[in-house]
Amino acid sequence: MTTLLFYSKSDRTEWWREMMAEHLPEVEFRVWPDVGDRAEIDYALVWKPESGLLASLPNLKAILSLGAGVDHIFADPDLPQGVPISRVVNDNMALRMREWVLLHVLSHHRRQREYNQLQRARVWRDLDQPHAGERRVGVMGLGELGGDAAHHLAAIGFDVIGWSRSPRELDGVRTFHGRDGLKAFLAETDILVSVLPLTPQTTNMIDADFLARLPRGASVINAGRGQQIVEADLIAALDSGHLSEATLDVFQTEPLPVTDPLWIHPRVTVTPHIAAMTDPRALVRQVVQDIRSVEAGQPVTNPVDPARGY
Ligand code: NDP
Ligand code: OXD
């Protein structure tokens, strides 16, 4: 019998058990820590698996990520080599990320945080407002999620540019790539949106030097991973007035500790890593497809290249 091990701290375990029984009755569903005989596990469906767990499953055929990001899997120093990894790619997730990005870009663009403050002070005042075509939005990461968000930002009239590792072409979006393209990209960005995966190259990349390259008054929106931002440098750039505001969905430490200054910073908006939550109803179809595909000797649906790390 084919066996899948589920590892996640989420409260959706029973839901997954029922859905798997409905869609893949031929697969036995085991939930960590009740692993049973480790040699019997064929698939692992995981979010932040504990280090060494995957290496302890000698007959693993594929690792299925419960998220689009796979840094939580590559963080395992004992990750077994050669086992295919599949990650979440679907329209449902792209739509959710698009909603979150548009919401916060529009909020920065229309100065909503300042209007909220004026409301609290009962002050009736209008603030200078360029139109979208006069606002340059720079999107870092032009893959499944960033590419979609950039496309829709351009569709509502923003002047959109994008940055990726390798050259990318997107209708209505001017693109830059690689370290060589970064300076020019940042110099032309008023609202920076990051939807980058976490890799050794992107870890702590948004630091004081990086932020200093943005025009004065620029703002930052991050839905990639918290470990990409040196948070002390971000706060210093906000306090000095170089940055006007920041909206952060992801943090160096999650959940964000109650004592963290980001919670109460007047120019920071915090959301609790919800920009694009995995919808299990959409993911279950991909899990079914992945398992059927591998059982038929075919590759997983959305394979991750371990050499790139995303
Ligand atoms: P993709 O793999 O489809 O796209 C990644 C993009 O980032 C690509 O354009 C890639 O470049 C670019 N990139 C990667 N490394 C670099 C680098 N060193 N320099 C410049 N560009 C780089 O990923 P997705 O769009 O599906 O997801 C992106 C990330 O979003 C996830 O890894 C995860 O961290 C985050 N995420 C956050 C969520 C949330 O709720 N906050 C929800 C889901 C995902 P290239 O085009 O050349 O490959
Ligand atoms: C993901 C996430 O990677 O939710 O899917 O962050």
Between the CA of 224 and the centroid of ligand 2 the distance, in Å, is 8
Ligand nearest to the CA of 225: 1
Does this chain's domain 2-90+279-295 share its CATH topology with 91-270? yes
Between the CA of 133 and the centroid of ligand 2 the distance, in Å, is 31
Atom number in ligand 1 closest to CA 166: 47
Task: Tell me what pLDDT residue 216 has.
Answer: 98
Contact 45, 5 (CB under 8 A): yes
pLDDT band at residue 150, thresholds of 50, 70 and 90?
very high
3-state class of 235 per DSSP?
helix
Residue with tokens 């990349």: 205
Does domain 91-270 match CATH 2.70.70.10? no
> Using one digit for the tens of pLDDT, what is the confidence trace for 92-149?
999 999 999 999 999 999 999 999 999 999 999 999 999 999 999 999 999 999 999 9
Q: Percent of the chain beyond pLDDT 70?
A: 100
CA 123, 125, 128: angle at the middle one, nearest 5?
Answer: 145
Break the chain into its structural domains and give their ranges.
2-90+279-295, 91-270
Q: How far apart are CA 83 and CA 64, in angstroms?
A: 10
Helix (H) or strand (E) run with residue 161 in it: strand 159-164
Report, as an integer, the average pLDDT of 142-163: 98
pLDDT band at residue 10, thresholds of 50, 70 and 90?
confident
pLDDT band at residue 11, thresholds of 50, 70 and 90?
confident
Task: Tell me what pLDDT residue 171 has.
Answer: 96
Between the CA of 165 and the centroid of ligand 2 the distance, in Å, is 20
Task: Tell me what pLDDT residue 280 has.
Answer: 87
Q: Which CATH number fits domain 2-90+279-295: 2.40.10.120, 1.10.600.10, 3.40.50.720, 3.40.190.10?
A: 3.40.50.720
Model pTM above 0.95? yes
